[in-house]
Structures are given as C-alpha cells and as structure tokens.
Amino acid sequence: MIGEIITIGNEIISGETQDLNAWYAAGRLTRAGLRVKRMTMVGDDPEMVTIVLRQAKHSSEFVIVTGGLGSTDDDITNEVVALALERPLCIHQEMLKKIKKIAHKRNIPVTNSLLKMAYMPSGSQLISEKGVACGFYLIEEGVPFYFLPGIPEQMRYLLDNFVLTDILNRFQVKDVRVFKLIRTYGLTEPEIAEAFRKKRALEESVIFGFYPQFPENHITITANGEDSSKVQELVEEAQKEVLGILKEHVFSVDNEELEEVVGRLLKEKGLTLSTAESCTGGLVSHRLTNVAGSSEYYLGGVVAYSNHLKESLLGVTPQTLDTFGAVSMETVKEMAEGIRKITGSDLAVAISGIAGPSGGTKEKPVGTVCLGFSSKDLSEARTYRFFGSRIQVKQNSAAMALDWIRRYLCGYPFLPGV
Amino acid sequence: MIGEIITIGNEIISGETQDLNAWYAAGRLTRAGLRVKRMTMVGDDPEMVTIVLRQAKHSSEFVIVTGGLGSTDDDITNEVVALALERPLCIHQEMLKKIKKIAHKRNIPVTNSLLKMAYMPSGSQLISEKGVACGFYLIEEGVPFYFLPGIPEQMRYLLDNFVLTDILNRFQVKDVRVFKLIRTYGLTEPEIAEAFRKKRALEESVIFGFYPQFPENHITITANGEDSSKVQELVEEAQKEVLGILKEHVFSVDNEELEEVVGRLLKEKGLTLSTAESCTGGLVSHRLTNVAGSSEYYLGGVVAYSNHLKESLLGVTPQTLDTFGAVSMETVKEMAEGIRKITGSDLAVAISGIAGPSGGTKEKPVGTVCLGFSSKDLSEARTYRFFGSRIQVKQNSAAMALDWIRRYLCGYPFLPGV
C-alpha cells in the first residue's frame, strides 16, 4: 500500500518550524510495512492545498494530512479542506460536545477559539481525542484522508492509536518488511563506502542505505517479501556481513542510542560511572540521564568550566594547570581521577577542550579536545581534533566520551588520537 | 519570486532521517524575500523524481534539489536527473580535476566511489566546492535548478554562498519582507490565543503566526511590501502590540535563545552563575555552554544525581534529605546555596525533580520538579508540575531554570508554582 503525507502550515514552508510530523509518520508507516512515496509541505494557502489534496486523491491509496487544526487564527485547515474537497463546513455535534465537556472539566469558558474547532467538512468522522485538539478522517473516492493536529504529541498519539491500525485493517496488508538500523561511530562516510566495496554480493531484494547522522554514521538494511522467515533470514545475513566489515565501530543494531548501550553495559557489569566535563558543558551527563533508570549506574558529575573549579572541586593541581594548560592530557587524567575519588564510582571520564569559535592557538587550535579515563585498572588520556561549529565540537566530544566507556566495557581499544 | 524545494532520498521518505535541509533552505529563502510554495520529499525513485522535477519546471520560478550527490551506492541523483530532464550523463572535466586534486591533497586513492561523482547531466555548471561533495546547477526552460549535496554543512555552505545570491541576482528581487520572531515561555497556546482576541486591529498586510515549540511558544510577525520603511514600521507597531499583550512572558524578540538572553543579561550586569542539577542531569549547563563566550559568566556546576553527591559535593544536610526528601523546596534551596558557596558565583540555580517514567508517588507524581535560587539578596524555592515524557520534563525544567535567572535579572517575579 502506497500513500503520502501532506503537511499544511505557513510556519513549515517559511522555514520557521521543522516538520517533525511527516518524518515521524513516515517512520511509523514504513516500519508497519506500508510505503510512503511522497511528502509534501504547503502553506495555509487554499490554492496549493487544493492542488496537493486533489493530486493525492488520484495517485495515492491513503493520505495523511497534519497541521492547522488548532485554536489560533492561522489554523485554517478545516475551511481549506472543505473548499478543496467541496464538502460544506458544518458544526460537528460530537466534537462540539467534547469541547464543552473538556472546557467544563478544566473550568475554562467555551470561547470562540474553542468553538471554531467544531466546524468540520461534512462527512468527517472524529479520531479519538487527546486533549482539546482532535483529528478526523473522511473517505474521498475510496481514498482515506486522515487529518491530524500539528502538535507533535497529539499527532503521534492519534497516528499510533488509530490511523496506523485503520490503514492496516482497511487494506489487509500482508507484505512483511524487515528493517534494521546499524549505528556506527568513528568512521567517516567515505571510509564506510570504501569498506563496503569489499562486501559479498547479497540477494538483490536486500537494500542498504548510508546516512551520516552527525557525529554518527548509520547504515540501514531493508528487505521486503511475503515470506516472513525468509525476509528475516536475508536481513540477518546482511547484518552479519556489515558487522564483519565495520567491526567494533558498530555500537548498536537494536535502535539503541550510544547512552543506552553504555547504560545497558554498566548495568550488566554492575558498575557505576561519574563524569568531569569542561568543554562539553554537561552534554555527556545530559545524554546519560536521558535514559530512564540511569540513576542506577550514573552517580553524577561536575561541570568544571572555570580553572578554579577544576582545582577546588576535582583536585587538579595548580602545577598541572600551569605547566600543561587546562586542555591537556595531564589535566583530563587528573579530572577523571578526581571525580572518581569524590563520587566513589567505578569508572570516570573527563573532557576538556576548545569548542570555539575563539580560544584556539597555533599549538591547540579550535576543536582540540582531550579525553581522560579512570578506573581501578586503567588511567588513560588522548587528544583528538574535531571540526565544525562549537555545537558540533561539543557533540563529537560527548559522543567520543560515551564511546570510550562503551569500548572499555567491551574490551575494544579507544579510537586513536592525533 | 516563488520557488520550491525538493529532497531526494529513501532515508527521508522512510522516516529514517529528518530532512533538515528543506527546512534550512526554506528559512533562508524566506528571509531573503523569496517565497517557497511547496517542499517535496521523494525517494531515490526515478519515476517519482521525474514527476516532481517536471511538475516543478512548469510551476516554479526556481527549484532547489538536495540529496544523493555523495559517494555511496545509494547516491543516484545525478543519474536520475539525467533521465528525468533528458540530459545525457557525461564526465564533467572540471569536477574530475577537483576530485583528483582533493584525493592528492588528502593522500587518498582516487577510488571508484570518488570517480562516480564526476558523472553529471550535460549542461551542468559546478557550484563552488567545499570538501569533495560539490553542487551543480542547470537552466531548464528558463527555470534554474540547483542540485546540492544532502550533508547539511555542505548544503548550507553552497546555499548561503552561491544559490541565494544567484537567485536574487537572476531575478532582481525588489520586494522587502520583514519578519519578526517573538519567543515566550510560561503561557500555553490557548492562553496566548485568548490573550490575542483582545488585540487591536492592525493593517491586513501584517500576518501573525503562532507556533508551539516545546517548551516555548513562538509568535511570528510578517509583512511584505516595496516600501522598506513602511513595512518596517508596520512590524514594529505589531511587535509593540504583542509585547503589550504578553508582557514579561516574552523573553526574546531578536531570535535569541533563552540561554543567550541569560548570558547577555549576566554580562551586562557583570554577574556570574553556577548550577546544581539533579533531574535535568546537566541540560541547564549544556544549554548555557552552547553560547560562545559563556565561560565569562558561567563558572560551572554539579550534576548531583545521587543523594550522596548532594551531601558530599553540595553540602545538603542529611536531615533535610531525610525529613523532606531529595525532591523538596528545602533540598533545592540548600543545593543552590551550596553550589554558590563552592563556586563563589553571584547567582545559583538548583533543580531536583522526578523526570519519570517511574519514581513517582501520590504526593510527588512524575513531573514534580523543585527549583531553588540563591543570590546575595534572595533565597527562593518553588515546586512545579510538568507533563509529558522524561525528556519533556527535563526540557521544561531546564527552561524554567533559565527563565528564573532571566526573570531575576529583569526584576520580574518567578512564575507561580503549584
């Protein structure tokens, strides 16, 4: 089943807002075995909306439209859809009732902003609600059109809880699609491309994709077919091939983030971790604590942005700072040892570098970043050179720090420094 | 001048990758006074690419196409464009020379992966290079088509340094467009919608947009016209109206992030800041240090994820933790006072809460977050209740902490707690 996704909103085509809804919907549809052949974004512009809705009606088997169902004056999707599909706009009694009920429950007045949302194209069926904003669908010449609100949480809820099942039931989809996302860190895209030239020929139905996702590089494997176990087998064979080519640079084959991999490994080994950050400014601890349950193994850390804090909180000696500087292997070693001692953690990682845009010197240009590691059996430091903006240097440094922990826990060597 | 943006790539329509290129290009074009009427994403699919390229040729005045110019096997844009626009694919001598030169400079072999990129549709003109991947353009029945690589840094560089000026020169654009982004924190979208019902009527050419950008809410003002000073005046009047309606909830009218506003205010007043974070796990310090030059006013902080660190590093008393718990106004007050004393900073903010998904109780459900503030003249704590996922609770808590600092520095009261 092949469909398309349409996003309506001036904020999208003017570049003010990123359209994460189409991206999310495309991912969910694809993983459910459906195919998206086009994603289109247009403004709150009756002419363009009419063009894309009519085009979709004639070339797609299902259509998902997001955006413009809210309460502010620029939310005009209902009106425009009524015009484009030539269905009069009328008060939807069920929607009206819902709006009144919610207003009563929250003890807010039924304002005109709320009432506006009850006017819908004739023939619309409500999609189960979450909050005030509500979706609807209608069947236009056999093609189901789903209209969802633009607020990501609401859109995702309605898509996951109604739209996906509705499409799958409606079309009795049988084809199986197996998808595998392999994440790597530490190789450039051309290095991966070259490595892949040596791979064995695999069945044509197995498709590889290569996607730089800064600072990582992702490889996807996809296969389609009616025989589920055959498709599964093909993908597993392809995955084995990729692992053979990229080896320990692969950190995840199960859609895990680097911080989730690190967390899982720490839990498995019953070890705890602490961090001492300078140039990454808390990004490593932020990523670690994005994982639910991270308090089991992550004790905490220090963001020692000033030299004073490197001394007073982490115990880096003034001599080390004076002789080698804040961005040096000697300093990060002492930072890592310091935070491990203070927190009593099993492992510790430390980062100090020049994120830029200023602060670089000839010997230590912007992007120079030192990493330190401390555990009972290992004390190690290396210097790396990263490129790009301030944020990118932070991102690459934080990923490298997480990757060090992963590599230590798996028994792989750290990536070589400069 | 009205144009459109086309993104080519299976990774986009399958939802594996977010298309940030179309978003970026749309923003740059719009701010330059050009209009984007449609953004379309299709896969590496000759049929769909042909449809959208031909459609664009007949309905747009300029077309920007991104993606698929790289070195891996799935980069097939050149071939597909050659087919779709019926221009034979031939070796581009200038491109070939560039590839050889770069390979020589980097001391890498001229592999087939690199050579592949020298085959281009006939009539293509190179767009100045950055790195190996290079863009090109061609004029198809009077409409310029710009083909740019999918890697965001390269695409942005070529767009900013060549494509934008080329379009503006080619069409001698005169219309002026003034755009203003107003950022708010602390009001919900319906609250903003209601507040706006009271606004004065303004000239019709002034357009307002309302965009939830979790956890902020953004308002845009746009006006177009040939008379630059008149358009500017209209937008300024509208901005004054918005500020009158939303008052101190507005934190920025100059496209500044909350952390940039905080940084600017701290620098203006010559004050320093430190942070003590528990549930936000370093997100506040990460945001603060995203700003270039933040080391001038941000000294650092502690991520005290464990109770042990709250005591040993921040000096929270065991009695406070035992009596009131880690998520309490008493604890965050001591955390803020503790970090201020250790770092010697003028101001300090502390956060402790239950980000979830587990860890909630009846008295302190998931989303309960306590904020503490400490300065020479003020010691304050409040409890908030946030909704949403673990990440959203972290995001809202971090934004509230930054907003407290802003409000303190501007003399506004903190937002009321629960």
Residues on chain A touching B356 (C-beta within 8 angstroms): 292
pLDDT of A1 > 90? The answer is no
**From the CA of B311, how many Å to the nearest CA of chain A?**
11
Q: Please report, in tens digits, the pLDDT of each residue of chain B (418 residues total).
A: 899 999 999 889 988 888 889 999 998 898 788 899 999 999 988 889 989 998 998 899 999 999 877 766 667 788 888 988 899 999 999 889 888 887 887 777 888 877 888 889 999 999 865 555 588 999 999 999 999 988 887 888 899 888 988 998 888 777 777 888 899 999 988 788 888 887 777 777 788 877 778 899 988 888 888 888 999 999 999 999 999 999 999 999 988 999 999 999 999 999 999 999 999 999 999 999 999 999 999 999 999 989 999 999 999 999 999 999 999 999 999 999 999 999 999 999 999 999 999 999 999 999 999 999 999 999 999 999 998 889 999 999 999 999 999 999 999 999 999 9
Q: How far apart are CA A341 and CA A335, in angstroms?
A: 10
Nearest CA in chain B to A8: B38
**From the CA of B103, how many Å to the nearest CA of chain A?**
12
Q: Give the pLDDT confidence of A17-60 residue by residue, as tens digits.
A: 888 899 999 988 987 888 999 999 999 888 899 899 989 988 99
Q: How far apart are CA B207 and CA B220, in angstroms?
A: 8
Closest CA to A313 of B330, B134, B309: B309
B-contacting residues of A 153-192, CB under 8 Å? 153, 179, 181, 189-190, 192
Residue B96 in contact with partner chain A when CB distance is under 8 A: no
Question: Percent helix, strand and coil across chain A, each rounded to 5?
Answer: 45, 25, 35
User: Of A372 and A255, which is predicted with more confidence?
Assistant: A372
**From the CA of B88, how many Å to the nearest CA of chain A?**
26
Q: Give the pLDDT confidence of A274-316 residue by residue, as tens digits.
A: 999 999 999 999 999 999 999 999 999 999 989 999 999 999 9
Confidence (pLDDT) at B157? 85
Do residues B354 and B360 touch, judged by C-beta distance below 8 A? Answer: yes
**From the CA of A153, how many Å to the nearest CA of chain B?**
9
Both tokens of residue A327?
Answer: 């961005």
Q: For the purposes of burial, counting CB atoms within 10 Å of the CB of A307, is it exposed (0-12), middle (13-18) or buried (19 or more)?
A: middle
B-contacting residues of A 370-409, CB under 8 Å? 388, 390-391, 394
Q: How far apart are CA B406 and CA B262, in angstroms?
A: 5
**Chain A interface, best mutation among B246, B259, B306, by max A CB count within 10 A:** B306
DSSP string for residues in B82-131: HHHTT--EEE-HHHHHHHHHHHHHHT----HHHHGGGEEETT-EEE--SS
Do residues A344 and A372 touch, judged by C-beta distance below 8 A? Answer: no
Pairing of strands B62-66, B2-8: parallel
Residues on chain B touching A17 (C-beta within 8 angstroms): 23, 211, 213
Nearest CA in chain B to A114: B190
The fold adopted by the segment(s) A258-410 is Maf protein (3.90.950)
Residues on chain B touching A70 (C-beta within 8 angstroms): 189, 193, 210
What kind of architecture, by CATH, is found in domain A2-171?
3-Layer(aba) Sandwich (3.40)
- Cβ distance B16 to A211 less than 8 Å, yes or no, reads yes
What kind of architecture, by CATH, is found in domain A176-252?
2-Layer Sandwich (3.30)
Q: What one-letter code names the amino acid at A217? A: N
Please list the residues that pair with B318 across neighbouring strands: none
Confidence (pLDDT) at B105? 75
Q: Which of B25, B112, B209 lies nearest to residue A11, judging by beta carbons?
A: B209
- Cβ distance B38 to A38 less than 8 Å, yes or no, reads no
Confidence (pLDDT) at A279? 96
B-contacting residues of A 100-119, CB under 8 Å? 108, 111-114
Residues on chain B touching A394 (C-beta within 8 angstroms): 286, 289-290
- Cβ distance B303 to A285 less than 8 Å, yes or no, reads yes
**Chain A interface, best mutation among B296, B305, B308, by max A CB count within 10 A:** B305
Q: How far apart are CA A1 and CA A175, in angstroms?
A: 9
* DSSP tag of B264: H
Q: Which residues 6+ apart lie within 8 Å of B53 measured at CB?
A: B6, B63, B65, B81, B84, B85, B145
Neighbours of A390 (CB within 10 A): 22
Do residues B284 and B373 touch, judged by C-beta distance below 8 A? Answer: no
Both tokens of residue A368?
Answer: 């120079």
Domain spans of chain A, in order of start:
2-171, 176-252, 258-410
C-alpha distances out from residue B67 to A102, B76, B78, B272, Å: 45, 9, 10, 45
ipTM of predicted assembly, 2 dp: 0.75
Q: How confident is the model at residue A131 (pLDDT cuts 50, 70, 90)?
A: low
CA A234 to chain centroid: 27
Nearest CA in chain B to A388: B153
Q: What percent of chain A has pLDDT over 90?
A: 60
Residues on chain A touching B213 (C-beta within 8 angstroms): 17
Q: Give the pLDDT confidence of A70-127 residue by residue, as tens digits.
A: 766 667 788 888 988 899 999 999 889 888 887 887 777 888 877 888 889 999 999 8
What are the DSSP E strand ranges found in B149-235? 176-184, 207-213, 216-225
Predicted model pTM: 0.76
Q: Which of A37, A298, A309 lies nearest to residue B48, judging by beta carbons?
A: A37
Neighbours of B379 (CB within 10 A): 15
- Cβ distance A43 to B37 less than 8 Å, yes or no, reads yes
CB-side exposure of A82: number of CA atoms within 13 Å? 14
Q: Which of A30, A31, A190 lies nearest to residue B113, judging by beta carbons?
A: A190
Return the sign of the alpha-carbon dihedral for residues B272, B277, B280, B286. positive
Residue A122 in contact with partner chain B when CB distance is under 8 A: no
**From the CA of B286, how many Å to the nearest CA of chain A?**
5
Contacts 24+ apart (CB under 8 A), A386-389: A386/A353, A388/A214, A388/B153, A389/A356, A389/A357
Both tokens of residue A9?
Answer: 């909103």
How many residue pairs from chains A and B have C-beta atoms closer than 8 A? 312
Q: Tokens 């990729």 label which residue?
A: A242
- Cβ distance A43 to B30 less than 8 Å, yes or no, reads no
Residues on chain A touching B14 (C-beta within 8 angstroms): 26-27, 30, 36, 179, 209, 220, 222
pLDDT of A173 > 90? The answer is no
Nearest CA in chain A to B343: A309
Q: How far apart are CA A147 and CA A54, in angstroms?
A: 15
Sheet containing A176-184: order of strands: A207-213, A216-225, A176-184, A250-252
Q: How far apart are CA A211 and CA A221, in angstroms?
A: 12
pLDDT of A169 > 70? The answer is yes
Neighbours of B255 (CB within 10 A): 11
Q: Which of B11, B37, B72 lies nearest to residue A42, judging by beta carbons?
A: B37
Q: Which of B72, B211, B286 lies nearest to residue A193, judging by beta carbons?
A: B72
Do residues B314 and B335 touch, judged by C-beta distance below 8 A? Answer: yes
Nearest CA in chain B to A16: B27
Quote the mean pLDDT of chain A: 90
Q: Which of A14, A27, A289 lies nearest to residue B16, judging by beta carbons?
A: A27
Q: Which residues 6+ apart lie within 8 Å of A338 measured at CB?
A: A276, A313, A314, A315, A316
Do residues A304 and A280 touch, judged by C-beta distance below 8 A? Answer: no
A-contacting residues of B 220-279, CB under 8 Å? 220, 222, 275, 277, 279
User: Of A328 and B179, which is predicted with more confidence?
Assistant: A328
- Cβ distance B283 to A281 less than 8 Å, yes or no, reads no
**From the CA of A62, how many Å to the nearest CA of chain B?**
15
**From the CA of A414, how many Å to the nearest CA of chain B?**
24
Residues on chain B touching A293 (C-beta within 8 angstroms): 358
**From the CA of B295, how many Å to the nearest CA of chain A?**
7
Q: How far apart are CA A189 and CA A214, in angstroms?
A: 11
- Cβ distance A305 to B302 less than 8 Å, yes or no, reads no
Q: How far apart are CA A284 and CA A282, in angstroms?
A: 6
- Cβ distance B284 to A282 less than 8 Å, yes or no, reads yes
Q: How far apart are CA B42 and CA B209, in angstroms?
A: 28
